[in-house]
Amino acid sequence: MLIAALGTVGKPFLRDKFLHLLVLLGVILTLFQPAKITQFPQFVDWDTIVTLLGLLMLTKGVEVSGYFDFVGRKMINAIDNERRLALFLVMAAAVLSTFMTNDVALFIVIPLTITLKKLTSLPVTRLIIFEALAVNAGSLLTPIGNPQNILLWNKSGLSFLHFIGQMAPLALITLVALLVVTWFCFPSHSLKKLESNQGYPFQKRLLVCCVALYAVFIACVDLELALYGLLAVILCFLLLARDVLLRIDWPLILVFIVMFIDVRLIVGLPALQPAFAQIQGLPDYGHYLLSIGLSQVISNVPATILMINYLPSGALLAYAVNAGGFGLAIGSLANLIALRMANDKKIWLRFHYYSFPFLLFSGVAGWLLLALFAK
C-alpha cells in the first residue's frame, strides 16, 4: 500500500515538464554561482510555500467532500445561460480577489468551475482562462489583492483608501474590457445539462472541518503562525481523509520553491550587476517598460522586489507590475496556479491567445492614465 501511495504521488513529478525546465535552469545558473548552493533555503519564501500548501489541502478537502458538486448543481438550476454564467463567475473571481488575494479567489472559483464540466456543456477550459485574467484585473485594485500590492502599499506610506484610489482607474478599465470580451466569447444560449454520476458523495463532516480549519489557518497566517496552522490541517486530514493528502498537486509546491531559487540566482548573476546599476538613470517610460518586461521573465512579484530597490513605490511601478501579470503565464503566480488546477495541457497555449492582448491593453491604458494624472 505504501509503495502504491508513493507511486501515486511520484508520477506527477515525472510528467511535469515545466518543473523539469525550472530545475534545468536552476542547475545551469548554479554552475555560474556554485557558492550559493548553501543559501538555497534562504532564497525560498517559506511563508508563501506554507500558505500555498495549506490552501491547496483545504481546497482539495472541500472538493473531495462533494460540496462543489452540490453548489454546481444549484448554480446550473439558477443560471442556465452560458453567457450569464460566464459573466457571473468571471465577476465573482474578480471581486473575491480584491479582498481575499488572487490565489485564494482561484482556489474557490476554479474547483467549482471544474465541477460544472461534469454537469453541463460549458467550455470550462476557456472559462478558467478568463477567471485567471479576472483575478489579475480585480486584485490590482486593493493593497491586499496580491503580493506585489502588499509590498508596494507597505513601502508607499499611503492609506488603504488612497491606494485604492490610485489603482481604481486601471482596475476599472481592465475589468470592463474583460467583461466585454467575456460577453462576446461566450454565446447566449441555454446550457445543455449532462447526466453524470461522477463526483464524490456529499460528506458534511469533512466539509465542516475544512471550513473550520480554513478560518483557523487564515488566522494563523495573519498571526505569523502559518506552520502551526498547516500542521493542524495535516493532522485533521490524517484522521478524516488521508486520500486528500495524496491528491494534492505536490509538483506545484516544488515549482514555487524552484522558482524562488531561480529568480535569486538570476538576480545574483555578476554579469547583470552593471545593468542593474543603470536602472535609476532610465526615463519614466524606461522604468515602466522594464518593470513590465521583468514581470514577463521572472514574474511580477520578484520584479517588484527587484525594482523597488531603484524606484519609488508609486503609481508607475504599481501599474507596470500589475499590468505585467498578463502576457506570459509566468507573469503572475496566480496564472500558474489557475492553469495547473485546470489539468489540461492545451490550456497553456490557449491562455496566451487571450492574455497577450490584455497585456498590451492594460500596459497602454496604464501609461495613458499615468500621463493623464501627471497633468
Q: What is the DSSP secondary-structure string of 148-204? A: HHHHHHHHH---HHHHHHHHHHHHHHHHHHHHHHHHHHS---BPPBPP---SPPP-H
The Cα angle at residue 340 between residues 195 and 190, in degrees rounded to 5: 35
How high is the pLDDT of residue 174? 97
For residue 245, give the C-alpha cell: 493528502
pTM as predicted: 0.77
Q: Locate all alpha helices (DSSP H) within 268-332, ordered by sequence.
A: 273-277, 284-298, 300-307, 315-323
- Write the single-letter amino acid at 352: H
Residues in the chain: 375
How high is the pLDDT of residue 172? 97
The phi, psi pair for 365, rounded to 5°, reads -60, -40
Q: What is the mean pLDDT of the chain?
A: 86
- pLDDT tens readout for residues 141-180: 988 788 888 888 878 888 888 999 999 999 999 999 999 9
- Write the single-letter amino acid at 214: Y
Q: What percent of the chain has pLDDT over 90?
A: 38
How high is the pLDDT of residue 350? 95
Judge contact between 322 and 153, C-beta under 8 A: no
- pLDDT tens readout for residues 205-217: 888 998 898 889 8
282 vs 18 pLDDT, higher one: 282
How high is the pLDDT of residue 200? 47
7 vs 31 pLDDT, higher one: 31
